[in-house]
Amino acid sequence: MRLAVLGAGAIGPAAAVLAVSRGHEAALWSPSGAGTAGCDGRMTAEGALEGVFALRIATDLADALAGADAALLVVPAYAYPALLPAIARELRVPLLIAPCASLAPLALDAAMAGAAHRPAIGAMATTPVMGRRLAPDRVRVAGIRKAVDLAAVPTAAAPDLAALATALFGHASPIVPNALQAALGNANPIIHAVMALTNVTRMENAEPWPQYAMMTPAACRLMVAMAEERDRLAQAFGLTVLSLEESLHRSNGVALGPMHEMAAVIAQSRGSVLGPATMDTRYVTEDVPYGLAFYLWLGATRGLRLPVTDAVVTALEVLWGQPLRDNPLLSGLDPAGLDAALQHGIGRQPSV
């Protein structure tokens, strides 16, 4: 197939070379242009995937989607408010959003309302790969996921989109009931927020620190407490989400056990995977507004308080000296119509 990869930070190139390694073609597009600057159409991969892979560098969004059979959106969630309307105008093929933070598939579906052709939208709980950009033409594929939960808008399209994701990237694609479960199933907002909170002085002083080694028993207790609130939130919508432990297992292949023990094994096996060395990090600027603040919004729609999560968000707002609860993706969503929107989409015919 021909895949359009929308986003060229680390995950986009890593996902693109994975797809190419499986016999597909990939076009890579950077919304800002920075992610493809200096890339001549060949990407060297190292780590879990090694080799030199041909990529077509797209000049703009329309060029990226030209001739594509499918698209993958992998940009920071804070880029969604500006980018989704542009995608809605150009999209003619199925799109996978990885990860589907803050019900981004519904926000995109709303932006496509009234369009003559409305392709299905896939909601992936996380990205197909883990990666780090080493140079304009080099990416480290830190890991290839064995399974990624997937839902669709509308839900009836999930089997086809699951087959598509598996064909492109090779991982199992367990189908979950709807995009909300896929969104809640991403462990990053909880893990990253706690890592930022408990290592803020290291980040402020630009000190190197080993991320998994810093997932100590105390830090993991806070993560587990937040995960318990997330579980109650999911249950309020009739859903069940992956535990943090199962998420670590899927991402790193480590045996299940207490979180801090799993993290210690990962630290030993993967070496010093460093955490952010700056306070300008997606761990806060993305995962709090589009993760934790999203949880708080959802809880409010069901009259459910999440005191630990709320306290963590408040503490991070004080530490970072800025508000972290603004999430434009939620402004167009009607809480009363959320269940129907998750099943049928927004403005689509229920039979679709």
Alpha carbons 96 and 152: distance in angstroms, whole number? 9
Same domain (yes/no): 6, 78 = yes
216 shares a domain with 144: no
With cut-offs at 50, 70 and 90, classify the pLDDT of residue 325.
very high
Domain boundary among the residues 166, 184, 202 is at 184
The CATH number that applies at residue 229 is 1.10.1040.10
CATH number of the domain encompassing residue 96: 3.40.50.720
pLDDT at residue 10 greater than cutoff 70: yes
Q: Assess whether 88 and 156 both reside in one domain.
A: yes
Contacts of 164 (CB under 8 A, 6+ apart): 70, 94, 96, 122
Q: What is the pLDDT of residues 304-324, one digit of tens each?
A: 999 999 999 999 999 999 999
- Dig out the tokens for 116 from the structure: 């003559």
What per-residue confidence (pLDDT) applies to 273? 81
Does 336 map to a domain?
Answer: no
Within a 10 A sphere around the Cβ of 113, how many other Cβ atoms?
Answer: 12
Are 103 and 213 members of one domain? no
User: Does 276 lie in the same domain as 179?
Assistant: no
Query: How many domains does one find in the chain?
Result: 2
Both 316 and 266 in one domain: the answer is yes
Could you tell me whether strands 25-29 and 2-6 are parallel, antiparallel, or unpaired per DSSP bridges? parallel
Is residue 294 located within the same domain as residue 270?
Answer: yes
Same domain assignment for residues 105 and 218:
no
Cis, bond preceding 154 (omega within 30 deg of 0) = yes
Average pLDDT taken over every residue of the chain:
94
The tens digit of pLDDT for each residue in 127-162 reads 999 999 999 999 999 889 999 999 999 999 999 999
Domain co-membership, 145 together with 59:
yes
Mark whether 157 and 244 lie in a shared domain: no
Q: Name the DSSP class of 210.
A: B
Cα distance between residue 135 and residue 42, in whole Å:
12
Q: Which structural domain range is residue 308 located in? A: 188-321
Beta pairing, strands 42-47 & 51-54: antiparallel
